[in-house]
Amino acid sequence: MPVNRPPFGGAGRRRRNRLSGSSLVSWERCPRGWMVNRRLGLRGPVRPSMLLGILLEDAVVGLLMESPPRDGSPPHGRSRWLEHQGAMETEIVQTTPVDSIEGIHDWLHSLVPEMADYVYQTLLQQWEETPWKTDEADIDAIQVATIRKQIRAGLKMQIATANSCLAEGGGPHLETYRMTGDPHNPPAPRWDSTREEKAPGFQNSGELVDWWEAWEISRPWMKDPRINEPQRIHHPGGWASGEMDVVHRWRSKATIVDIKSGLHGGRPQPNLEAQLRFYRWLWHQTREADAQGVDCLEGWFLLDGHVHRIDAHEDEDMDTETTRLKAIRNGMGSVPEQDWEWIKPGGTPTGHPLHCPHCDGMEVCGYSSKPEDRALRVFLPELHTLDPDALPQGSTRIAKLPSRICVKGTIDGGWIENENPYGETVRVANLRVGTTYVVVEESESGVVDSDAWHGEVAIADANPGHHRDRARLFLDGRSRLIDPKSDQQWIRLGLIPSRATVSGEVVSIGSMSGTSQSGRPWSIRTLHLWDGSGVVEIAAFGSNRSRTFDSIVVGDAVTIRHGELGWREGAPQIKIGRTTIIESIER
């Protein structure tokens, strides 16, 4: 199946310390660029294409979830996807009965204009709400006519797939569809039925496949817009995951498809090929030997309607690929924490895990559609307002933020599930010494064996932090139990560093929102501070997002006093709390 749960429980959201298709592409192009974009989370200003690509994918998926009536009555004249979005004021078009795959095309083709208008208006709204973005001329260049063309290109490619299914007699699963419904788990998403229901309308066994059956059978698995949770597939070992766009399963072997909103233009696509081959490997790793395999990979380019086909590696190659990807994952994990020597000239020599032969110092290889073009860019600017040798009083240099401490105590209340600010379910326990206690959080699933992490314990390499007005310890893959008699610098529970004051110039701004596993909405706005020694992420959740914080722009210099120290997958994060003070540093 294209979706499963993380192997150790917890949330399925994307994590910086899991190997993914996008992180693999970034690492293989430039490990230093991976460090900037993935580990530090430093991103450039948002381009309209970033927002539009997600909206277009959702619209195409919503269109392919449609089903024409089987009884000869006219189909509905408004996209179910628009209704799902609550856009009930959109126009209802006149339709005629459908009796062929060409008729399906004409019907769905007529629904696209209203969908494109909705996508465009949503894009404008999202653009207005984006805190850091490119020039306004970029959004002015987006045309509704182009959006219509892109959605219709996705429809045309699926129509071609349905015609192939019809020509091949419905494929090997035809009779199963007729007898019991979609044989795949999870089934292809469809507006007119729930996951458990068999779609009505299939013919009796033995009859020739017809147009309606070919459309229903060829419908791929896609990310269901009705599901709020991430729809990812996770490696059994927990160290890799991926989220596929489309998987066609109507043939004996599957085809994995990645939807691209842009232009193919006849150019080589090394990044797409690396990403799809990662998905092919992940598919192999998550199913039994007799399950459906993969023999084809495709990229669907919506701007020019091009299908970029890639041969999938054979099953016999998967062990070699596992070894290669594990080495890459281990290389990512070997990058030292809070070591900023790599940003200095000559800081990533041959043999360093971040070594790139093309860039050095403050430059990294940027993205380019031409593989031979490294598009070098400076990722950290010169400081104009802040003097790194004379930081405001009380500020800690970012490179010196406290990390990785050793503590002793007793865990005697067991581990329970709790929800973190991102809406993820995590496990927590109380670590106690006498009447002093702190909460210990398993921030990376699979770290804690609750039988071993019980009673008298000595913990090494826990990350100190703060949460809900109390000190907290965060455990990840480097945290471990050790002999309490070890020669370590033990920190008393009452002296755990949990707050920090930092100063720096703002070099990046971002925002995220989502829905927790319990259905609770959450939002976060982030900025990154650079003080000449290192970079740290500052995060404000929900009600802690003040007007002052939201008014900060890239280039401002600020001091964050009494921020709540935290850790996010191996990197420090300072959260804005109720007692945090934000001060502007004047030029």
Per-residue model confidence as pLDDT tens digits over 379-399: 999 887 788 888 999 999 999
Give me the residue label for tokens 């059978």: 217
Rounded to two decimals, the pTM is 0.89
Q: Work out the number of other CB atoms within 10 angstroms of the CB of residue 573.
A: 20
Instruction: Report d(CA 16, CA 23) in Å as an integer.
Output: 8
What pLDDT digit, counting tens, does each position of 536-568 carry?
999 998 888 899 999 999 999 999 999 999 877
In angstroms, the Cα distances linking 8 to 5, 217, 441, 514, 569 are 8, 34, 15, 22, 16
pLDDT of residue 515: 72
Encoding tokens for residue 235?
């490696």
Q: Quick one: pLDDT at residue 402?
A: 86
CA dist., res. 181 & res. 428, Å (int): 42
At 16 the pLDDT is 52
Q: At 442, which helix (H) or strand (E)?
A: strand 436-442
Residue 362 CA to residue 344 CA, distance in Å, equals 7
Residue 435's Cβ-side half-sphere holds a number of Cα atoms within 13 Å equal to 0
Q: What is the pLDDT of residue 15?
A: 52
Chain-centroid distance of CA 110 in Å reads 33
The amino acid at 497: P
Q: How many CB atoms lie within 10 A of CB 262?
A: 14
Q: Which domains does the chain have, with CATH numbers?
A: 16-44+234-243+256-379 (no CATH), 46-219 (no CATH), 403-495 (2.40.50.140), 499-584 (2.40.50.140)
CA atoms within 13 A on the CB side of 313: 20
What HEC string does 491-506 produce? CCHHHCCCEEEEEEEE
* pLDDT of amino acid 375: 85
C-alpha pair distances (Å), 492 with each of 348, 471, 479: 37, 12, 17
Q: Could you identify the residue written with the tokens 């299939």?
A: 202
For residue 583, the one-letter residue type is E
Residue 544 has a pLDDT of: 86
Ramachandran quadrant class, 41 (left: phi over 0; alpha: psi -120 to 50; beta: rest): left
DSSP state of 115: H
Question: Shortest CA distance to 502 belongs to which of 556, 583, 577, 571?
Answer: 583
**In which residue are the tokens 């099953």 written?**
315
Averaged in consecutive runs of 10 residues, what is the pLDDT profile of the chain (587 residues)? 52 59 94 93 92 97 96 96 95 97 98 98 95 91 97 98 98 96 92 78 95 98 87 89 95 97 92 96 91 95 96 93 96 90 95 95 83 83 84 94 93 88 83 94 86 94 88 90 94 93 96 74 90 95 88 95 84 90 89
Predicted local distance difference test score (pLDDT) of residue 29: 92
On whether the CB atoms of residues 340 and 530 are closer than 8 A, the answer is no
